[in-house]
Structure 1
């Protein structure tokens, strides 16, 4: 894990989605201290944005815990990261798990989400765990700089896809299944220069709460995870070099978190014998920022 005096080398990526393999240092997706115990043995998991960052760490831990894993990525932009993640999952997966799947898709559109779900069901037969995680963000100095095109793009990726993926996946989910949505600490404390991104993350919290009430009668649990400043490709792809160098220093723990420090929250929420009485809730791995709600 990073030290209390952590600083990152200045770096900037000019396009989104960001690329994990060119980051310095590369985000930590695993840890020798993590001890799997078959928490997800026999489960089928679909993770959007699973090629890098938090998504990659979740893919790895789910595989270590016995799940068969499928994930999505952006074709052309994330090919190398997706290939690397596939290899990581193959090494981590249990003997009983099926070979992992990497599915390229722009999830901002309903028909693409349906194709992803259909491909997973064709290969794995069903879906037990849906992780809505794909996201993009862009810095803007004021609300006046956010035009209609940018606003629609961010909302399509960050919240439209959650609706689309869920509505198609539910047809193949049964009692005991779990949906976990990635929101953000920014939904609770706000962010002056990520207004459109922050707005989508607030929508995800409301989506999680409402959907949990809808699906409680079907005994499908719906929860969320609201990470704080985590070292992922979104950071160098979003912020200026000098901001990246000091990223995470504002939280009480005085450092950014690593994806491996967030991923166990998803394992906990996905595992029925760990969190069977938890639905409509959000976990907050955020370095000590106090939030209400």
Structure 2
């Protein structure tokens, strides 16, 4: 690392480590998977579309000959799929060193998951909550293991946890629902770290990609898609740069549990990754505990901590 510019070359050897990455067939998830595989990790691409996952695995293998890349079907909009994927991952891997909760949807029209959850909250938070809970015991015995959850600057935008209407049944805001899900990602990380501390060396860390030019805005209304396109073209950064905060959170030996990494440039929109701060609301311990309890109740998944 030179002049505070942490880059992909700063990723230490990942030989012997197993990394599971959700949504790894495109965008920052793909770039994180590619970088980890290039540094020796055995990488599992946990994706909804197996064909796209296999294509991503082929591209990674072409870029990093000899890379160990496999594909696991995972649909975060279905708790049955999450349980099936966790069962297969547990059968195939005695240990998991790294779980990157990266997959997500943004600004979708009002719709629900297979289990009746609002789509953004159900996918971005509850699906990852359940997956993590079902895999965590495979991680807690592994020295230096990490759970990295990808949030967003949107956790500050019209964001609160609507405990009286978590599924937005009394009205719907695409932006508000997305903000709620990204705020939930951070609260989940901080509460999990509090529960892990003193019991294991496993840590929970969060990251955000800033303004990265990915497919995430594809579900937004046309005016927002146009703004996103212009932003990505003139202000945002590449998916490879957007993946750096995730990679740093996942691999930098100096990272501590409960930290949050994002781009170091203006307004955290672009730049090399650094330690950043999340909103005061995200650090509200009472709300974190309440969200955790509700998430256990909704998913039926309890954690080994």
Structure 1 length-normalised TM? 0.74
Partner of 2:288: none
Partner of 1:61: 35
Match of residue 137, structure 1, among 97, 106, 123: 106
Q: CA deviation at 1:115?
A: 2.1
Secondary structure, aligned partner of 1:137: coil
How many Å separate the matches in 2 of 1:148 and 1:83?
27
Q: CA deviation at 1:148?
A: 6.8
Partner of 1:84: 55
Give CA-to-partner distance per residue, 1:110-135, whole Å, 9 cap, x none.
33223223323333432110011121
- Counterpart mapping for 1:1-293 below 5 A: 34-35=8-9, 38-75=12-49, 79-93=50-64, 95=66, 99-138=68-107, 146=110, 152-173=118-139, 174=141, 175-190=143-158, 193-217=174-198, 218-240=200-222, 242-247=223-228, 255-271=235-251, 273-275=253-255, 278-285=256-263, 288-289=266-267, 293=279
Secondary structure, aligned partner of 1:155: helix
Partner of 1:10: none
Structure 1 runs not aligned, ≥5 long: 1-32, 141-145
Q: CA deviation at 1:72?
A: 1.7
Tell whether the 8 Å contact from 1:38 to 1:66 is kept in structure 2 after alignment.
no
Q: CA deviation at 1:267?
A: 2.2
* Cα separation, partners in 2 of 1:235 and 1:86, compared to 1, 3 Å: same
Kindly tell me the number of residue pairs found equivalent between the two proteins.
Answer: 247
Secondary structure, aligned partner of 1:273: coil
Q: CA deviation at 1:205?
A: 0.8
Structure 2 length-normalised TM? 0.71
Secondary structure, aligned partner of 1:45: strand
Q: CA deviation at 1:249?
A: 5.8
